[in-house]
Amino acid sequence: MLVTGANRGLGRQFAISLLDRGADKVYATARRPDLIDVPGVVPLRLDITDPASIATAAAAAPDVKIVINNAGISTGANLVTGDLDTIRREMDTHFYGTLNVIRAFAPQLADGAILNVLSALSWLAYDGAGAYHAAKAAEWALTNSVRLELANQRTLVTGLHLGAADTDMMAWYNGDKTAPEAIVAAALDGIEAHRPEVLADDWSRQVKTWLSEDPTVIYQEATAALTS
C-alpha cells in the first residue's frame, strides 16, 4: 500500500490506520520523507508534481496493490484575480499529479485499488477557493474516467469526498470539522466494501444532494447581485 502526502493530516492518519488494520507494508511518501514520523512505515520520497520522482517511487515500490492519492494543496487563489502560476500549481497537484501517479502504478494494480481524496468542493464553488474547486472538480472527473479505463483489469477506483477535516490544512476554519480518524475509517471501509464513492461526512452528503439543483438555488448571493 502507498499513501501520498503522508507526512501530516489525512495522509499521516491513512498510514497509521492501514497499519492498525494489519497492512504488511505501507509506503508513506512525501516530498521530504524525513518529516514522516509514523513507526512501522516505509518512508519514500515522492513529489507528485515531478514525473521523475514518480517514476523513481514506482520502481522502488513494485509490490504496491493499493494507492491512496492524498497529497494536495490549498492556495486560496480565485480564478479571475488569482495568480496564474498559483492556479496552475493547484491543477498540477490535484489533476496532473494524481493522474501521473495513477499512470505510473496502474500496471501493477490489477485486482487492486486506487483511492483519490477529493472534496465536497469538487461539486461546490466557494469564493476564495476558485482554483481549489476547479482542480478538485477536474480530479473528480479524472476519478470517474480512470474507473472506466481500469475496469478491465479489475482495479477498484474510489473517490473520497469530505467537508472540513480537523487537520493542519483546515486550522484556519472555525466551523465543524471531522476527526481524521473518522474520515479515514470511512474511506478504508469503502475500499473494503468495493464502493466507488465514499461520502465521509454530513457536509459532503449535503453538497452531493445539491448537484440536481439549479445554480440559482445553490449560489443565491450571486443570483441576488445579478438581479438587483
pLDDT tens digits, 99-134 = 999 999 999 999 999 999 999 999 999 999 999 999
Determine the pLDDT at residue 164. 77
Residue 105: CATH number of its domain: 3.40.50.720
Look at the chain and report how many structural domains it folds into. Answer: 1
Would you state the cell numbers that stand for residue 135, as one nine-digit string? 482542480
> Could you tell me the residue range of the domain that residue 87 belongs to?
2-227
The mean pLDDT value for 40-53 works out to 98
pLDDT > 90: percent of the chain: 89
Please give the DSSP secondary-structure letter assigned to residue 178. B
Higher per-residue pLDDT: 167 or 68: 68
Query: Which H/E stretch holds residue 156?
Result: strand 156-161
Determine the pLDDT at residue 226. 74
Ramachandran angles phi, psi of 25, nearest 5° = -145, 130
Higher per-residue pLDDT: 9 or 171: 9
Distance linking the first and last C-alpha atoms of the chain: 54
Vertex 131: Cα angle to 130 and 133 (nearest 5): 65
Compute the mean pLDDT over every residue in the chain, rounded to the nearest whole number. 94
- State how far the Cα of 4 lies from the Cα of 134, in Å rounded to an integer: 21
Confidence of residue 170 (pLDDT cuts 50, 70, 90): low
Q: How many other C-beta atoms lie within 10 A of the C-beta of residue 102? A: 22
In the block, cell 457536509 appears at 203
Closest listed residue to residue 54, CA positions, set 100, 110, 114, 3:
100
Contact 108, 57 (CB under 8 A): no
pLDDT for 17-38, tens place per residue? 999 999 999 999 999 999 999 9
